[in-house]
Homo-oligomer: A and B are copies of this chain.
Amino acid sequence: MSDIPTLDEIRRAAGRISPFIHRTPVLTSRAINHMAGADVFFKCENLQKVGAFKIRGATNAISYLSDEQIKRGVATHSSGNHAAAVAKAARWRGARAYAVMPRNAPRVKQDAVAGYGAEIILCEPTLAARDEVLNKVLADTGAVFIHPYDHVHVIEGQATAALELMDDVPGLDMLLVPIGGGGLISGSALSAHAVSSAVKVIGAEPAGADDAHRSFNLGYLVPADRPVSIADGLLASLSELTFSIISSHVHDVVTVSDELTIQAMRLIWERMKLVVEPSAALPLAAILAGSVKTRGRKIGIILTGGNVDLDRLPWVKAK
């Protein structure tokens, strides 16, 4: 792991991407603190460009590319926020962007990616089809692959969110971060570890997509087996890279049911007036379920994104 970013490198990444992203606010809610029995600080990446923290990693990774690489363009696969982030970040450097998306990706997400100027290549919604189509795109175009999380520079970019949160709120006891493929929690754990050994990093993962929970406790990588969750941003499996960072720098990984996730999501909408996607609600759900010892502590949470289909809210029954 000799190429794992240091605190200095993360700080330099933060400076490099700062012209292109928002310094998102940290908000609190007295009502939620009361329910949690803790002081909870929410880093609002739902208010970030493209509506999600993903713009940090994509922008950082693309900032490292040479002019020659930029000429060939960039490519990725993603059903959601990462594809939009790569499309937007590519535009800043004038690079073409190719996004391989499953045929069943929500129309609203396809529109967002196309709106940022990427060329969308649809594939069947299987891992094999996705990889095959992506490899063909890479072979045809020579584009550089920006993996959603199995990528050191993506992780380095995602690390800047936790760094800003810790800069704004000194003395945090704990950071609670959702886990999908593990890019955000890997970056957060690297930042926390470098800033202060007193900050514990805990992952929150959907019970129906608990590969990180299993891998963390078993000590070897267990891929997700047909993951299902309302938290559509958290269905991916860890990679060797993210698993190795999580194993060495994360303190625990807890799981959360979809039902509690939806309740916590609604609570954030109602009490904080913030639109967040289901994935963003897992850390608060874990606290309110009593899955993490938070009583009396100072807790940081990254609200990862706010891209939801407003026509299909999980608590509104379509009759």
Contact = CB atoms under 8 A, between A and B. Distances in A.
Interface in A264-308: 266, 269-270, 272-276, 306
A319 B269 CA distance: 24
A112 to B, nearest CB: 10
Interface stretch (A118-126, A148-156, A310-318): A310-318
Contacts of A269: 275, 310
Nearest to A269: B275
A9 B210 CA distance: 58
Given A47-B27, A319-B319, A310 B266 contact: yes
Interface in A1-59: 25, 27, 46-47, 51
Contact of A313 (B270, B276, B313, B319): B313
A84 to B, nearest CB: 13
A273 B44 CA distance: 10
A295 to B, nearest CB: 23
Given A47-B272, A275-B269, A316 B316 contact: yes
Contacts of A276: 273
Contacts of A272: 47
A319 B316 contact: no
A270 B47 contact: no
A303 to B, nearest CB: 9
Nearest to A108: B270
A273 B310 contact: no
A315 B306 contact: no
Nearest to A266: B310
A25 B24 CA distance: 11
A46 B273 contact: yes
A140 B46 CA distance: 50
A25 B269 CA distance: 17
Nearest to A272: B47
A270 B319 CA distance: 24
A275 B306 CA distance: 11
Nearest to A45: B273
Interface of A: 25, 27, 46-47, 51, 266, 269-270, 272-276, 306, 310-311, 313, 315-316, 318-319
Given A25-B25, A27-B47, 14 more contacts: A46-B273, A47-B272, A51-B273, A269-B310, A273-B274, A274-B274, A274-B275, A275-B275, A310-B313, A310-B316, A311-B315, A311-B316, A313-B313, A313-B316
